[in-house]
Amino acid sequence: MSIDRWPLIVTLAFAIAGAAAAQAPAEPKVGVLDAPCTALEPMPAGVMAYLAKAAAARTQHQPAPTPPADQLEAYNDWQQRQLVNDFAGHCRYATANAGLPAASDHRVVFFGDSITELWRSSVPELFQNDIVGRGVSGQTTPQMLDRFRADVIDLHPQLVHILAGVNDIAGNTGPTRLDWIEGNIESMVELAQAHHIRVVIAAALPASQFSWRAGLAPAEIIRAYDDWLADLARRKGLVYVDYYTPLDDGHGGMKPGLSSDGVHPTPAGYAIMTPLAREAIEKALKQPAP
């Protein structure tokens, strides 16, 4: 920018500031609002463009392109602001939920984090015939428990498939304890059963490290957590689906070719998981409603 343009820019800046000051104060975009989702900051346009390219690559069973460093930083900054303004992610599916037809007598909700969200784009044929995907990337179990009513109960499914907990272990929303994670899962189960919704509890997938959280060694914690999930299923009469065992490399990580980052399945990983999910859902739907 040439130096002779600075006076014009400064003049325009003062003019804009003066006009803004002369206007009536805008209504605060906080507190109880009729349409709180309209008050949220939209995702940066560059990030949306990258995610569209990544989704297109997944549908073609191609690796996702490497995100540009500046867009990754912009996304992380935006995500941090979203954690404050919509901690539970209520707005992620608000429009989609409002547009759903009345529930069929076989509606299933897949409820989870990025593994569930990416499953829908990687295996779209699974999410047909009133099987609904409600995964939110990066979420932990307290966030999911908060949105359980909006994204599960209010959709009136016959069954919910719950796959969650690894992001808690990664510390996505701060330090935690294993029994806190377990308590959130058990609360989701109890809410589902109180509303006569059958439950499939899914094992957390193996992970020996997290690309976004260097220094953590989660393998043993995930094993202990999955043992607890299996026991919860036995205690509550739920169907438990073990995704861990067929994906495990024997050391608590993913087998080669089943994940691109050690956490999220590739199409080959989802190809193993999908028939197990179908089998678990079929089995659970044959059970009496709670």
Tell me what the mean pLDDT of segment 155-160 comes to: 98
Q: Which domains does the chain have, with CATH numbers?
A: 107-285 (3.40.50.1110)
Task: Tell me what the mean pLDDT of segment 253-280 comes to.
Answer: 96
Contacts of 247 (CB under 8 A, 6+ apart): 205, 206, 254, 255, 258, 259, 265, 269, 272, 273
**pLDDT tens-digit series, residues 89-131:** 999 999 999 999 999 999 999 999 999 999 998 999 999 999 9
Mean pLDDT of 159-165: 98
For residues 39-56, average pLDDT: 82
CB-CB contact of 151 with 88 (8 Å): no
Question: Residue 78: pLDDT band by 50, 70, 90 thresholds?
Answer: confident
Per-residue pLDDT tens over the stretch 17-32: 333 333 444 555 778 8
For every residue of 73-115, which 3-state class applies, written as one string?
HHHHHHHHHHHHHCCCCCCCCHHHHHCCCCCCCCCEEEEECHH
Cβ neighbors of 154 (< 8 A, separation 6 or more) are: 97
Give the pLDDT score at 174: 94
Assess whether pLDDT exceeds 90 at residue 152: yes
Q: How far apart are CA 202 and CA 226, in angstroms?
A: 9
> Who wins on pLDDT, 81 or 192?
192
Residues 250-263, mean pLDDT to the nearest whole number: 95
